[in-house]
Amino acid sequence: MANVKLSIIYYSSTGTNHQMAKWAEEAAKEAGAEVRLVKVPELAPKEAIATNPLWQKHVDNTADVREATSDDLDWADAVIFSVPTRFGVMAAQMKQYLDMQGGLWATGKTVNKVVSAMSSAQNPHGGQEATILSLYTAMMHWGAIIAAPGFTDPVLFGAGGNPYGTSVSVDQDGNMVEDVEAAVKHQAKRTIEIAQRIKG
């Protein structure tokens, strides 16, 4: 099987999507992929971040994580996105990153990338599915191949059963409500498997 190059591109304000990205990284490496884990640039002003202790702590704790560039998409055979919902769509930080990839798109470099997405919100029906679907809409324009988890493994039901991508609820203290680690790892391995088939 072909060796897959995977970029895991995330945005996280208080750490949930960063943790999901790290679980995906672990599983992808176990599956033999070459992995880049990168964050999209923060857009919020420092004053806004400072009003939320969890947000400020996460920003400080992940200062060493490299910011995503267009090269991380160009290099990759497959991409896993992890992003929180903001009013039912992806956070602006991720949207801006996607919006900046017109150069890759215009030269056909987004075509046939295998992509999958994950999300989080404060409650199970807080826009998690809509957020993932909003990201997949952009991927259809890219000509990418969406590798949704569907219902391909029983672990998905324990995580809430989201067929579009793993999603998790987060309580007021920033803790994940559902146990989604196994679902994230399954989704990552499935993404690698599909990419191997595409790459040949």
Contacts of 112 (CB under 8 A, 6+ apart): 143, 144, 145, 198
Do residues 83 and 91 touch, judged by C-beta distance below 8 A?
A: yes
Do residues 148 and 116 touch, judged by C-beta distance below 8 A?
A: yes
Question: What pLDDT score was predicted for residue 33?
Answer: 96
Interior/surface letters 51-80, b for 16+ CB within 10 angstroms, e for the rest? eeeebeebbeeeeeeeebeeebbeebbbbb
Q: How many helices (H) and strands (E) does the chain have?
A: 9, 7
Residue-range domains of the chain with CATH: 5-199 (3.40.50.360)
* Amino acid identity for residue 177 in this structure: V
**pLDDT tens, per residue, the chain with 200 residues:** 569 999 999 999 999 999 999 999 999 999 999 999 999 999 999 999 999 999 999 999 999 999 999 999 999 999 999 999 999 999 999 999 999 999 999 999 999 999 999 999 988 888 999 999 999 999 999 999 999 999 999 999 988 899 999 999 999 888 999 999 999 999 999 999 999 999 87
- Helices 16-30 and 181-199 cross at an angle (nearest 10°) of 50
- CA 84, distance to chain mean position in Å, is 9
Question: What pLDDT score was predicted for residue 158?
Answer: 87
**Tokens representing residue 92 in the block:** 């602006």
Question: What pLDDT score was predicted for residue 125?
Answer: 87
Dihedral, 15, 192, 189, 19 alpha carbons, nearest 10: -10
Residue 5 pairs in a beta bridge with 34
Other CB atoms within a 10 A radius of the CB of residue 185 amount to 22
